[in-house]
Amino acid sequence: MKEKIVLVTGANKGIGFGIAKHLGLSGWQVVVGARDEKRAEEAIGQLRSAGVDVLGWVSIELRDLGSIEQAARVIGEKYAGLALLVNNAGIPGDMSVDSLHTELSDIRETLDVNFVGTFALTKALLPLLTKNGGRIVNVTVPSEISPYWHPLAYVASKAAQNAMMGVMAIEFEQSNTPVEVFSVHPGPTTTDLNGNMALPGFHDIETVGQKTAELINDGQNHQGEFIELYPIVKED
Burial class (CB in 10 A: 0-12, 13-18, 19+), 131: middle
Task: Mention every residue, 6+ apart, whose C-beta is less than 8 A from residue 97.
Answer: 151
Beta bridge partners of 84: 6, 135
DSSP states along 58-80 = EE--TT-HHHHHHHHHHHHHH-T
DSSP 8-class letter at 100: G
From the list 96, 75, 78, 91, the residue with the least C-alpha distance to 33 is 75
Residue 230 among the catalytic residues: no
Question: Cβ neighbours of residue 13 under 8 Å, at least 6 residues apart?
Answer: 39, 43, 191, 192
For the chain, how many residues are written?
A: 236
Choosing from 79, 148, 154, 230, the catalytic residue is 154
233 and 201 Cβ atoms separated by less than 8 Å:
yes
Residues designated as active site? 154
